């Protein structure tokens, strides 16, 4: 890469970081204004929220995701008085920690911008179209199919790891090229669509990058940028329609940010082979969760 190209890439990277910081600060202003308007104290239920945010965003940063664990902890602690506010509260609580995740992985993991930017745009486009496209989709059937697909993909990845123990060739690759990039765009577009019906993008992206022979750490800035951009829009919509529980939200955010910082150091320092086996476990656990969800009554839209 020429010096001029490196300078351009650095400028774009700085621009993305500025964008993330501006969006993060904008959300903070929105939260404070609405809490003042609703006359909700910053310290109300702070401890409970802090604990939930710490645990769930730690898990989110290492690739487990946060929505399922947040829902479970909300139920266990009787956090929510109105379940109709559950999606909005989760988006609002995790949006700022996800921006911190994106900022961290954008600066600590080397990734080619010609992979990061197109794949992020593909996911955001999929999410934008998906709100209309998935309105009448059979969610439970999709969950069942995805549970099978994730299981098969995890087994393929496990076979690859066992057949090539200690393989580190992928560490030298920092992006997708040619037909793999095209495939990546298709995958991310599809994941963006599926996110509109509550299906996460983390595990599928980790599996995808691993199976195509790329360092799975490369998936982290991509999936965090995807989530940050999509959650920003979703959160503003939930706030505007009054579907956020403000009590305890500062605790959720602060605990979440601390959980991100702790987990991010863990992920970037882990051995690549260990990380790959961990991804297999996450994929199998996610597949089991999807299968269990698919057996519940069909969602009503």
Which pLDDT score is estimated for 172? 66
Tens-digit pLDDT profile for residues 141-188: 877 888 888 888 888 888 877 776 555 545 567 788 899 999 999 999
List, in order, residues 6 or more apart from 207 with CB less than 8 Å away. Answer: 150, 153, 154, 157, 279, 283
What's the token pair of residue 205? 């992206």
The half-sphere exposure of 189 on its side-chain side, counting CA atoms within 13 A, is 11
- Asked if residues 122 and 275 have their Cβ atoms less than 8 Å apart, the reply is no
Tens-digit pLDDT profile for residues 113-136: 889 999 999 998 988 887 677 667
pTM of the model: 0.82
What's the token pair of residue 18? 């500025």
- Asked if residues 76 and 280 have their Cβ atoms less than 8 Å apart, the reply is no
Q: How many residues does the chain have?
A: 301
Greater pLDDT, 196 or 169: 196
């Amino acid at each position: 890469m020429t010096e001029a190209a490196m300078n351009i890439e650095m400028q774009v990277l700085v621009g993305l970081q500025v964008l993330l910081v501006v969006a993060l600060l904008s959300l903070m202003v929105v939260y404070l204004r609405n809490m003042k308007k609703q006359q909700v104290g910053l310290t109300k239920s702070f401890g409970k929220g802090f604990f939930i945010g710490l645990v769930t965003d730690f898990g989110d940063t290492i690739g487990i995701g946060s929505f399922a664990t947040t829902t479970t902890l909300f139920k266990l602690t009787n956090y929510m008085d109105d379940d109709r506010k559950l999606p909005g509260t989760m988006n609002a609580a995790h949006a700022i920690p996800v921006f911190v995740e994106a900022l961290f992985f954008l600066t600590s993991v080397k990734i080619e911008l010609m992979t990061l930017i197109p794949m992020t745009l593909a996911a955001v486009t999929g999410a934008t179209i998906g709100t209309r496209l998935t309105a009448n989709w059979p969610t439970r059937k999709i969950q069942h199919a995805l549970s099978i697909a994730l299981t098969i993909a995890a087994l393929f990845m496990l076979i690859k790891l066992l057949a090539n123990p200690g393989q580190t060739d992928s560490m030298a690759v920092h992006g997708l090229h040619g037909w793999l990039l095209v495939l990546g765009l298709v995958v991310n577009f599809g994941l963006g669509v599926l996110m509109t019906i509550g299906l996460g993008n983390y595990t599928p992206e980790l599996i995808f990058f691993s199976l195509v022979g790329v360092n799975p750490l490369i998936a982290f800035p991509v999936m965090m940028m995807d989530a940050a951009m999509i959650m920003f829009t979703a959160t503003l919509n939930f706030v505007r329609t009054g579907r956020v529980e403000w009590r305890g939200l500062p605790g959720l955010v602060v605990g979440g940010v601390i959980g991100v910082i702790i987990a991010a150091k863990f992920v970037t320092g882990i051995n690549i082979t260990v990380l790959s086996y961990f991804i297999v476990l996450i994929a199998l656990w996610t597949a089991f969760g999807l299968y269990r969800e698919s057996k519940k009554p069909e969602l009503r839209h």
